[in-house]
Amino acid sequence: MGAKRDIAVRTVGVDTADVAARVLVASHAEYPAFRHLITDPARRRRALRPFMLAAARDAARHGRCDVAFDGAEPVGTALWLPPGGWPASWQRKLRMMPGILRTMWIAGRAAPAWSRTGSALEHDFGAERAWYLLALGVHPDAQRRGVGGRLLRPVIDEAAATGAVCILHTSDPANLQYYARFGFSVARPLTPLFADGPAYLSMRRAPD
């Protein structure tokens, strides 16, 4: 990543959402759920690329696709969807379908479980007015520099100002303590999605 510089956070559009996707592939390559679904690291990264690109472009269109830069180098990404923006409509899913189908093709036998996971996360989302953190990722070479906090804070502050809650899902137990620093607490565990695999948890942040 070169010399450490001040981190700048910018909201990017659809045409430049690929920079967000690249960071998310790097940051989520060892994420417990994805690692459980696809054990081969190279194939896992190939599957993540079209999936993260579709998600980043959708967030750029319908929510916020925020990218943290160290100079010109993208080092972190947060994908947020505003109240009413999650789950995605069928029209949005159709737009994302080419990327999702490519991911499913690469995932092979893991595709049904991958699909069930997405459906379960959608159905867990309640009716309350909430910002949904679809993904937060920091490049492994840029961690422990406060990048994640810089990405979280703008939407957390906006949600607090408008009386909205923030919600996320995670399958990584290490994330619980991290998100607790920003006011999130575990709302409930989800029904196990994998046999002998990591469990997802729903976390919620109430307005200040």
pTM for the predicted model, two decimal places: 0.94
- Judge contact between 23 and 52, C-beta under 8 A: no
State which H helix or E strand residue 55 sits in.
helix 41-62
**pLDDT at position 2:** 46
Q: In the chain, pLDDT over 70 holds for what percent of residues?
A: 97
Q: Which tens digit of pLDDT belongs to each residue from 132-171?
A: 999 999 999 999 899 999 999 999 999 999 999 999 999 9
Long-range contacts (CB closer than 8 Å, 24 or more residues apart) made by 64-67: 64/11, 64/154, 64/155, 65/11, 65/12, 65/13, 65/17, 65/20, 66/9, 66/10, 66/11, 66/12, 66/151, 66/154, 66/155, 67/9, 67/10, 67/11, 67/12, 67/19, 67/20, 67/23
10 Å CB burial of residue 185 (0-12, 13-18, 19+) is exposed
Closest CA to 58 of 103, 12, 113, 25: 12
Cα–Cα distance measured from residue 20 to residue 76, given in angstroms and rounded to the nearest whole number: 7
**Strand 7-11 and strand 64-70: pairing?**
antiparallel
Cα–Cα distance measured from residue 141 to residue 120, given in angstroms and rounded to the nearest whole number: 32
| Band of residue 190 on the pLDDT scale cut at 50, 70, 90 | confident
Q: Which tens digit of pLDDT belongs to each residue from 61-115?
A: 999 999 999 999 999 999 999 999 999 999 999 999 999 999 999 999 999 999 9
Q: Which tens digit of pLDDT belongs to each residue from 31-65?
A: 999 999 999 999 999 999 999 999 999 999 999 99
> What is the dihedral sign for C-alpha 24, 29, 32, 34?
positive
Task: Tell me if residue 66 falls in helix, strand or coil.
Answer: strand
Task: Tell me if residue 130 falls in helix, strand or coil.
Answer: strand
Identify the bridge partners of residue 203 per DSSP, sorted by sequence position: 168, 186
Domains and CATH numbers, the chain: 7-205 (3.40.630.30)
